[in-house]
Structure 1
Amino acid sequence: MGTGTEPVRVLVVDDQELFRRGMTMLLGSEAGIEVVGEASNGVEGVELAKSAAPDVVLLDVRMPKQSGIEACVAIKETVPSAKIVMLTMSDEEADLYEAVKNGASGYLLKDSSIEEVAQGIRVVADGQSLISPSMAAKLIDEFKTMSKPDKVTGAALKLTERELDVLRLVAKGLSNRDVAQRLAISENTVKNHVRNMLEKLQLHSRMEAVMYAVREKIVELS
């Protein structure tokens, strides 16, 4: 998906017509990206995702009929392979947490440049996670206020040592390729470890795994 000669197929869902049309037009001129549809609310977005089977869906958080968070949940249920990027004016931590908890792989603010949005789409399509820098800072501040246990406990005990190694590196922002090089294993092996790790921890995305890793003191943020 999004590799080789195949473009990343993108669906744009936003209730502001000018923004949606503008984003569709600008993304259409970006290399390696193909916009396969646009929708004006969450309900339309879910239906279009079913028929268009996009690689990445751009969702606004606040929309009529169905919110972006609700649409995220519905799309992940009906098109599990689709990656979700929230593209929104909302810099509320609560919206970020809800998006991550419900399977979003990215969270970008609408003041991002088209280059940042396009790169975010490519990164997420490649299986990585992305948060706007200002939101990431808020996330880190929140992490630092969380109570942290002295050792790995609970669900994390289900993970193998190698899965814990992978989780620590993923939580530090390394890509699958970088993790593979660091651990001297193949990229496919890393992907398998990430998939198994998410299943064991009952998490939906790499981004949620990062939140979990910091909360459980599997990795510490300086």
Structure 2
Amino acid sequence: MSNSQGPKIRVLVADADQVFRETLTAILGLEDDLQIVGTAALAGQALSATLSLRPDVAVLASPLRGLATLPLTIALRHQLPTCAVVVIATHPGESLNELLSKGVRAVLRKEAQGQEVAACIRAVHGGGRYVDPESITEAIRHRNRT
């Protein structure tokens, strides 16, 4: 847990898997400097919730039903450019370059620990980027196969 005295980082969590979404929300909710402002199960819900709740960071688990991650990211970045987008995926390395080029600030594998996700949220909120090492390795392997 972080012991931040400043304003909390407002976070939206979106994932089609209810158990993953609720677990991640509960874990992040334990962090003193993070505030979960909303959740979504579908891409359309994630877009509308992000626009109405205006989180600092949107954590999107890929894939979300209703719209692929890239078009959703483009829509979010266009309509709410102040919101940093973090993508959590099973195999993010396959689309890592494209995700980053479309405005995603961070990419994590679904196996990431809660503390890593929280640190990632803090990093992107501070203007940084984050890609977990396993996603980089996977991206290199994918590129070498093509």
> Is residue 92–residue 107 contact of structure 2 (8 Å, CA) maintained in 1?
no
Report the secondary structure of 2:10's partner residue. strand
Find runs of 4+ consecutive structure 1 residues off by over 4 angstroms: 138-143
Which structure has more RCO (C-alpha within 8 Å, separation ≥ 6)?
Answer: 2
Larger radius of gyration: 1
> Is residue 14–residue 21 contact of structure 2 (8 Å, CA) maintained in 1?
yes
Aligned residues between the structures: 141
- Counterpart CA distance in 1 for 2:70 and 2:39 is 17
Percent identity over the alignment? 26
Tell me, which stretches of 5 or more residues in structure 1 are unaligned? Answer: 146-222
- The alpha-carbon deviation at position 63 of structure 1 amounts to 1.7
- Determine the structure 2 residue equivalent to 1:137: 137
Larger strand percent: 2
- Counterpart CA distance in 1 for 2:63 and 2:136 is 20
Larger helix percent: 1
TM-score (norm. length: structure 1): 0.59
- Counterpart CA distance in 1 for 2:123 and 2:27 is 18
Alignment of 1:34-53 (within 5 A): 34-53=35-54
Alignment of 1:89-104 (within 5 A): 89-93=90-94, 95-104=95-104
> Is residue 93–residue 139 contact of structure 2 (8 Å, CA) maintained in 1?
no
Alignment of 1:122-161 (within 5 A): 122-139=122-139
Tell me, which stretches of 5 or more residues in structure 2 are unaligned? Answer: none
- Determine the structure 1 residue equivalent to 2:64: 63
- The alpha-carbon deviation at position 71 of structure 1 amounts to 1.2
Name whichever of 109-118 and 61-70 sits farther off. Answer: 61-70
- Counterpart CA distance in 2 for 1:91 and 1:138 is 8
